[in-house]
Chains A and B, each alone.
Chain A
Amino acid sequence: MIHSLFMINSAGDIFMEKHWKSVISRSVCDYFFEEQQKANSPEDVNPVISTPHHYLIHIYRENIYFVAVCTTEVPPLFVIEFLHRVVDTFTDYFGDGGETAIKDNYVIVYELLEEMLDNGFPLATESNILKELIKPPNILRTVVNTVTGSSNLADTLPTGQLSNVPWRRAGVKYTNNEAYFDVIEEIDAIIDKQGSTVFADIQGVIDCCVKLSGMPDLTLSFMNPRILDDVSFHPCVRFKRWESERVLSFVPPDGNFRLISYHVGSQNMVAIPVYVKPNISFREGGGRFDVTVGPKQTMGKLVESVVITCAMPKVVLNMNLTPTQGTYTFDPVAKVLTWDVGKINPQKLPNLRGNISLQSGSPPPESNPAISVQFKIQQMAVSGLKVNRLDMYGESSPKKSFSFEKYKPFKGVKYLTKAGNFQVRT
């Protein structure tokens, strides 16, 4: 299982270490540094490294390498998933999981790591339970703590940890009961030079913010559940009901959580909401750049927050462009062109054109750079998924039950489509 954890920042400093069994010397990280040197960019370090005595499994997030050290044969995905969970928890607690946040909260980080893993076995990883054990820092509490001398550590037994619904604590109470559901879909696509789709699929999630008193039992049904044939559920979802009736039945965790994530495969036709008409050419010493963006299949919705990024070849010295709308920047070090387009007006298509200057003497690049596109479309789920209704057990049922409190929650569903890994080859 997981033996130790090292956190390494971009400068190569090990700024935090935690050992769940015996102490492993920092020098084990030398193997990691060796591997890191071979990589062209920080993201390119192979996540599973074997050394003569240990296995190093790491993730790279927030510009930090979280390097787990294992001594026995372990499922690597278990380690990777766990590390991601650790960073998620930090983000949840401190607002972000970056180095400064960790350094500012050393003791809490240490306490968290201690609670999350025991002898290398995961102990409490649900944010709900952790927050009962270790209260997240906030300014108000720090002030109160210093005044009253109370601690940020709870001394009650985390109730959820032992119940049948470990993700929810008992005795939740709200004055305003509300449940919001965000259906968010991301389009991953590769579009070729001619504008035809090489590959496209949709990654969807339903993120919830549920603030309901007591132990609510919810049922969410869809107009067209057949779209969901590849789904991953939060542990709270009753799989049997889904199998038989295609409805999501669950006792929700308290607060924010991801109810399901789903994937609409490449076999289905995926509507591509924007098109990009690139025209990039290089010659000796320079080149032309001319890119137009336009809406395609948007179902009449507005395409907004459009951002075009293009990693130019290394020989590009500078770019001198004129946008018809929005602003553009060119980072001459990273050679990345970013064009913040904003909304697309179908009547007047945004365009960015101008000249490229190359380093003198170097030959023009062999290939054109790929363009990646970001956009958002509100109130549309590109897969066509639609929520039919949300029922709360005890609310609409005439049967009176003791265990459920009677209240009428406020319910809301929002849809959002955005670009995931959306690439256009030029």
Chain B
Amino acid sequence: MTDSKYFTTTKKGEIFELKNELNSDKKEKKKEAVKKVIASMTVGKDVSALFPDVVNCMQTDNLELKKLVYLYLMNYAKSQPDMAIMAVNTFVKDCEDTNPLIRALAVRTMGCIRVDKITEYLCEPLRKCLKDEDPYVRKTAAVCVAKLHDINAQLVEDQGFLDQLRELLSDSNPMVVANAVAALSEISDTSPSPAAQMEMNQQTINKLLAALNECTEWGQIFILDALSNYVPKDDREAQSICERVTPRLAHSNAGVVLSAVKVLMKGMEYVGMESEFVTTLQKKLAPPLVTLLSSEPEVQYVALRNINLIVQKRPDILKHEMKVFFVKYNDPIYVKLEKLDIMIRLATQENIAQVLAELKEYATEVDVDFVRKSVRAIGRCAIKVEQAAERCVSTLLDLIQTKVNYVVQEAIVVIKDIFRKYPNKYESIISTLCENLESLDEPDARASMIWIVGEYAERIDNADELLESFLEGFHDESTQVQLQLLTAIVKLFLKKPTETQELVQQVLSLATQDSDNPDLRDRGYIYWRLLSTDPAAAKEVVLAEKPLISSETDRLEPTLLDELICYIASLASVYHKPPSAFVEGQALVVRKTQLPVRSASGEPGATGATESPVPQQVQPAQQQQSVIPSHDTAMGDLLGDLLSMDLNPPQQQMSMTPAPQQDMGGMDLLGGGLDSLLGGPSPVAGMPASQASMGGGLGDILGLGISSTTYVPPKQVWLPASKAKGLEVSGTFSIRQNVRYMDLTLKNNAMAPMGDFAIQFNKNSFGLSPASALQVPSPLSPGQTADVTLPLGTNGPVQKMDPLMNLQVAMKNNIDVFYFSCLIPIHLLFTEDGQMGSASDRKVFLATWKDIPDSNEVQKEVANPNQLDPKGLSDKLQQSFIFTIAQRNVDGRDMLYQSLKLTNGIWVLAELKIQPRSPTMTLSLKTRALDVIPHVQQAYELIIANM
């Protein structure tokens, strides 16, 4: 008899039937009924209607029935909170039961009922259970704290459960310790509050290490993960932790092994120079890693992703284990692709023959993705191991001979890289490549082939014919191919100017006139201008010597690698991204995950690496990956030129865009007609392109925009670098186009790049809050400054601050979280609808003025340094959303009646008395909220002073 019997239904209606059975007198029948209910629940049927009937079955001494009812309660308590309260008494009673199993079960179940009202009743029993004499109850209670924290974090902190949990870290029972660690790590992961953080000192570490040997495998994973967050105070401590963790490598649970590997990889960084210890440890790491590869494919995948990091950090560990990464034909594809990646990383001069033989084997497999990656891998081997380049090239040629379409295309893409790496060595094969021109249908392969033709145009007799054939279908090509074609033809022209003038004219006009793609058009114009003004300079730029491509393509950046090493065995290590990049709701918590500085600088002694020295200084990613950087850099220079020349009078810049379209048509290519476009003699390539000039130009534009609206106070330093580990933040507030902005300047004064910026505001008097995420160009390299604008909303949480205009800000980056506060200028909060009534209808204003008691009127002398007249004043003030309702002249003094409204709806009325030719005026303000008056006075002074 099986459980499927619980699904049989009768015609009368299931729920009705069950209800009857649940209320039956017979115990046996009751239990069967509850089982049926549970069975329905497991398959997702809604049986919540039976809630009261099931809860009635709870008061029983039959453990099985109790458990079943508990299962049901956990599922449906949320939808029936009022009914769930009925169960509370039974829970509280069960927490006092003599049987520890029942006590534990009760406290465990109560924690699973995610109903606020129940949590209140939970506190007392939980407190008792945390101190229970039975370790089984204590360990269950430890987890319950984490559950409660999930439901009501504040309650857990207020009730002091976190401290109790920390006490459990030194419990005598290892399982209790493990669960306390697990609960604490989960709480600190989700809670931003410093109280929730797990402080670790030497004592706790010793306790954890002691518990490590005796708790269950899962407990070991939690403890090891906690250990990996600890920063040992010196070499010796690091070494002793490593020694005590090493036995875990022999555990049969892959999770334990990998978490132990994490602790050891981190520990080795701290042990540092004592290379003998490190060398022995490295030897011990290899076998367990290899063993992981004979586990289930899912385990293999995670292991491989981690091994990928490990071989980049410490290539020595697995240098003799190449063979275990050989691909088996029935490996799942995700395992195959990872293995391939690691094979290339491990390839050296000694084992390259073996690797190549394998790769060639893979290139004949069935799976297209895998074959492509294998072909690409052969190219990467050629670039990595110089001695093998020749063999790789001949292997690739063999593969091209197979004429399998995608193999040929992939081969051509990698051969282009090989040409880049070893110029003037393998060009003899170009003719073979050209034979396959027709079969190329993928943009990547076409672009690569075109690049080869352009680059070696002088050696290919019919280069012009080849390129011309591509030109026919120019508009159907992808952008990538179009750009390559443009460049290749320009190269060809510079090499063989006589025969190809027509071709280059054709491509330039195709690119500039008939294309909608701005990149293509711009590149076209730039070439055109270059060619027309100074062909010699054009030659220098376009045919410039290219920097060699790095031998280690797609290596992770060292700082990222160091960070990821700290996250071995976690999801971050699978994604190869720091958790901050993908973990949601990580609050603003940054774990201590930095490796010691010495390793970041890549001390070769620490790794003991003697062979295959890995370039520690990796070029910026852009340069590594761009296959044809010569153009990119040339572009960069030119762009700088254009901007520095043309932006100075910004108005002229505005008129620049339409101009080309008018003049281009009849322009003679070499006639220098382009100059007219740019309004003056233009020096070509040679003017240093500096960031500053670009910045300046942009600043002008922005500056213009700003001055036409509200007054913007100058930026102030809000957070000095000394207080924020090298990050300096200065800023101000502004309004542009009715949107409020916080304008920030971030400066990196530290030695390492910064990234992952985020910002949060504390509750404040006017509910200011960021309207979008902080967009900082990341990473912010050392010495770099970034200007950032953050749009603000005014619907955030409100809390009256003291001082009133104070705004507390938390800013986060990859290093830490920093707090600072600044003052909001009140005029930021003036709204554009602050005109009370209208200019013609002044009654509203008058009525309100009279309505506000005179005690709420405050007078102040305000300076008028520029001695502006009433007209000028009201115009200027209006730009800051202070609206003039009426103007009168009394006894030779001008009176301005004005109104303004704050974002939270507070109205402020003002009367400004202006004495002709006097440096001061009298400002009377009237409002119901007296608190704002001093700030509004200040705003008047500021705005008027800065007119």
Contact surface of A with B, Cβ cutoff 8 Å: 1, 14-23, 26, 39-40, 43-44, 46-48, 50, 52-53, 55, 58-60, 70-78, 80-82, 84, 103-111, 114, 118-119, 121-122, 125-126, 137, 142, 146, 149, 151-158, 161-162, 164, 166, 188, 190, 198-199, 201, 203, 229-235, 239, 243, 258, 260-261, 263, 265-267, 311, 313-314, 366-367, 370, 372, 420-421, 423, 425
- On whether A77 and B258 interact (CB within 8 A), knowing A111-B67, A119-B111, the answer reads yes
| Residue of chain A at shortest CB distance from B146 | A119
**Secondary structure of the A side of the interface?**
mixed
Given contacts A122-B216, A263-B287, A266-B321, contact A107 B111 (CB under 8 A): no
Find chain A residues with CB under 8 A from B579 CB: 73
> Interface residue count for B (Cβ, 8 Å)?
104
- Neighbouring A residues of B586 by C-beta, 8 Å: 73
CB-CB under 8 A from A265, the residues of chain B are 287, 290, 321, 324
User: How far is B190's CA from A17's CA once the two chains are assembled, in angstroms?
Assistant: 25
Can you report 7 A-B residue pairs in the complex whose CB atoms are below 8 A from each other? A40-B333, A71-B584, A73-B570, A75-B259, A109-B42, A142-B1, A367-B366
Bound-state CA distance A58–B320 (Å) is 32
Contact B43 A233 (CB under 8 A): no
The answer to whether B214 and A75 have CB atoms under 8 Å apart is: no
A263 touches B290 (CB 8 A): yes
Interface core residue of A60, A81, A203 (most chain B CB under 10 Å): A81
Known: A22-B114, A162-B136, A230-B290. A119 touches B143 (CB 8 A): yes
Are A118 and B334 in contact, CB atoms less than 8 angstroms apart?
no
- How far apart are B5's CB and chain A's nearest CB, in angstroms? 10
Within 8 A of A (CB), among B64-112: 64, 67-68, 71, 75, 78, 99-101, 108, 111-112
Residues of B within 8 A of A230 (CB): 287-288, 290-291
Distance in angstroms between the alpha carbons of A87 and B135 in the assembled complex: 29
Which residue of the partner chain, among A71, A75, A121, A190, contacts B255 with CB atoms under 8 Å?
A75
> What 1/0 mask marks residues of chain B from 329 to 367 whose CB sits below 8 Å from any chain A CB?
110111000000000000000000000001001001111
The docked-state distance in angstroms from the alpha carbon of A71 to that of B299 is 20
> Please, how many angstroms separate the alpha-carbon atoms of A425 and B329 in the complex?
9
Contact A16 B218 (CB under 8 A): no
The answer to the question of B182 belonging to the interface, with a C-beta cut-off of 8 Å to chain A, is: yes
Is B140 a contact of A118 with CB atoms below 8 Å?
A: yes
Given contacts A44-B334, A73-B570, A265-B287, 16 further A-B contacts (CB under 8 A): A16-B42, A17-B42, A18-B42, A19-B75, A44-B332, A47-B302, A75-B255, A104-B4, A105-B2, A106-B3, A118-B140, A137-B2, A157-B99, A166-B216, A198-B323, A421-B330
Q: Which residue of A lies closest to B573 (CB)?
A: A76
Q: How far is B251's CA from A232's CA once the two chains are assembled, in angstroms?
A: 5
Are B38 and A46 closer than 8 Å at their CB atoms?
no
With known contacts A153-B67, A166-B216, A367–B365 Cβ distance under 8 A: yes
- Say if the beta carbon of B469 comes within 8 Å of chain A: no
Is B737 an interface residue when CB atoms closer than 8 A count as contact? no
Determine whether the beta carbon of B254 is less than 8 Å from that of A81: yes
Cα–Cα, bound, A266→B290 (Å)? 10
CB atoms of B64 and A263 under 8 A apart: no
A157 to B35, CA, bound (A): 22
Contact yes or no, A106 B43, CB < 8 A:
yes
Given contacts A73-B583, A104-B3, contact A80 B571 (CB under 8 A): no
Q: Please determine whether A199 and B324 come into contact, CB atoms closer than 8 angstroms.
A: yes
- Asked if B251 contacts A233 (CB within 8 A), the reply is yes
B666 at the interface (CB under 8 A from A): no
B6 touches A106 (CB 8 A): yes
Cβ–Cβ contact B100 & A157, under 8 A: yes
The answer for the CA separation of A21 and B173 in the assembled complex, in Å, is 26
The contact string, 1 if C-beta is below 8 Å from chain A, for chain B 126-142, is 00000000111000100
- Of A59, A103, A260, chain B has the most CB atoms within 10 Å of the CB of A103
Q: Is B252 an interface residue (CB 8 A)?
A: yes
Within the complex, the shortest CB–CB distance from B99 to chain A, in Å, comes to 7
Q: How close is A381's CB to chain B, nearest CB, in angstroms?
A: 17
Q: Quick check: B3 and A43 within 8 Å, CB to CB? A: no
Residue of B42, B64, B143, B247 near A239 (CB, 8 A) is: B247
B166 to chain A, nearest CB (A): 18
Say yes or no for B296: interface residue by CB 8 A criterion.
Answer: yes
Q: When chains A and B are docked, how far (Å) is the Cα of A154 from the Cα of B99?
A: 13
- Within 8 Å of chain A (Cβ to Cβ): is B402? yes
Given contacts A46-B334, A48-B302, contact A121 B291 (CB under 8 A): no
Q: Which residue of B lies closest to A240 (CB)?
A: B247
Question: A74 and B570: CB pair below 8 A?
Answer: yes
Q: Is the CB of B287 within 8 A of A229?
A: yes
Q: Are B179 and A121 in contact (CB under 8 A)?
A: yes
Q: In whole Å, how far is A183's beta carbon from the nearest beta carbon of chain B?
A: 16
Most buried by A among B111, B140, B150, B221: B221
Quick one: given A76-B574, A162-B136, are A107 and B3 in contact (CB under 8 Å)? yes
